[in-house]
Amino acid sequence: MKYLVIVAFVAIIGSLAAALYFMMRGGRVAGPDEDPQAAPPPTNHMARALAFRVGFSIVLFIVVLVSWRMGWIQPTGVPMGR
Protein backbone atom coordinates (compact mmCIF):
# COMPACT_ATOMS: atom_id res chain seq x y z
CA MET A 1 0.00 0.00 0.00
CA LYS A 2 2.91 2.32 0.75
CA TYR A 3 4.24 1.95 -2.79
CA LEU A 4 0.80 2.60 -4.28
CA VAL A 5 0.55 5.89 -2.37
CA ILE A 6 4.08 6.90 -3.41
CA VAL A 7 3.33 6.19 -7.08
CA ALA A 8 0.05 8.13 -6.79
CA PHE A 9 1.82 11.16 -5.30
CA VAL A 10 4.45 11.07 -8.05
CA ALA A 11 1.67 10.95 -10.67
CA ILE A 12 -0.11 13.88 -9.03
CA ILE A 13 3.07 15.99 -8.88
CA GLY A 14 3.93 14.99 -12.47
CA SER A 15 0.50 16.08 -13.65
CA LEU A 16 0.90 19.38 -11.85
CA ALA A 17 4.29 19.88 -13.52
CA ALA A 18 2.77 19.05 -16.91
CA ALA A 19 0.02 21.62 -16.34
CA LEU A 20 2.67 24.22 -15.47
CA TYR A 21 4.60 23.37 -18.62
CA PHE A 22 1.50 23.66 -20.82
CA MET A 23 0.53 26.91 -19.10
CA MET A 24 3.95 28.43 -19.73
CA ARG A 25 4.19 27.18 -23.30
CA GLY A 26 0.55 27.47 -24.39
CA GLY A 27 -0.07 31.09 -23.40
CA ARG A 28 2.09 32.40 -26.22
CA VAL A 29 0.97 35.69 -27.78
CA ALA A 30 2.05 36.77 -31.26
CA GLY A 31 4.92 39.24 -31.22
CA PRO A 32 4.90 42.68 -32.87
CA ASP A 33 6.41 41.38 -36.12
CA GLU A 34 4.20 38.24 -36.29
CA ASP A 35 0.78 37.87 -37.84
CA PRO A 36 -1.78 37.40 -35.02
CA GLN A 37 -3.95 35.28 -37.31
CA ALA A 38 -1.08 32.82 -37.81
CA ALA A 39 -0.88 31.97 -34.09
CA PRO A 40 -1.83 28.36 -33.36
CA PRO A 41 -5.25 27.82 -31.81
CA PRO A 42 -5.28 27.31 -28.04
CA THR A 43 -5.31 23.72 -26.79
CA ASN A 44 -6.75 22.34 -23.60
CA HIS A 45 -3.69 20.35 -22.47
CA MET A 46 -3.36 22.36 -19.26
CA ALA A 47 -7.01 21.86 -18.30
CA ARG A 48 -6.74 18.15 -19.04
CA ALA A 49 -3.62 17.82 -16.87
CA LEU A 50 -5.28 19.68 -13.99
CA ALA A 51 -8.45 17.59 -14.33
CA PHE A 52 -6.31 14.43 -14.18
CA ARG A 53 -4.61 15.72 -11.04
CA VAL A 54 -7.89 16.49 -9.29
CA GLY A 55 -9.43 13.18 -10.33
CA PHE A 56 -6.37 11.20 -9.28
CA SER A 57 -6.29 13.01 -5.91
CA ILE A 58 -9.93 12.08 -5.29
CA VAL A 59 -9.29 8.46 -6.26
CA LEU A 60 -6.24 8.34 -3.95
CA PHE A 61 -8.30 9.71 -1.06
CA ILE A 62 -11.04 7.13 -1.63
CA VAL A 63 -8.49 4.29 -1.86
CA VAL A 64 -6.87 5.35 1.42
CA LEU A 65 -10.26 5.67 3.11
CA VAL A 66 -11.45 2.25 1.89
CA SER A 67 -8.11 0.68 2.85
CA TRP A 68 -8.45 2.07 6.35
CA ARG A 69 -12.04 0.81 6.68
CA MET A 70 -11.05 -2.67 5.44
CA GLY A 71 -8.15 -2.80 7.92
CA TRP A 72 -5.43 -2.96 5.28
CA ILE A 73 -3.71 0.09 6.76
CA GLN A 74 -3.59 1.29 10.36
CA PRO A 75 -3.45 4.94 11.36
CA THR A 76 -0.26 6.01 13.08
CA GLY A 77 1.04 9.39 13.94
CA VAL A 78 0.44 11.96 16.62
CA PRO A 79 -1.44 10.44 19.56
CA MET A 80 -4.73 12.06 20.50
CA GLY A 81 -4.00 13.98 23.71
CA ARG A 82 -6.14 16.03 26.00
What pLDDT, on a 0 to 100 scale, did the predictor assign at position 69? 92
Query: Residue 38 falls within a domain, yes or no?
Result: no
Does residue 33 sit within a domain?
A: no
Q: What is the pLDDT of residue 4?
A: 84
Domain assignment of residue 80, yes or no: no
Is it the case that residue 15 has pLDDT exceeding 70?
Answer: yes
- Reduced to 3 states (helix: H, G, I; strand: E, B; else coil), residue 9 is helix
39 assigned to some structural domain:
no
Query: What are the tens digits of pLDDT across the range 34-72?
Result: 555 655 555 677 888 888 889 988 998 999 899 889 988
Angstrom CA distances, 43 to 23, 25, 40, 70, 73, stand at 10, 11, 9, 42, 41
Cα–chain center distance at 66: 21
Average pLDDT over residues 19-45: 66
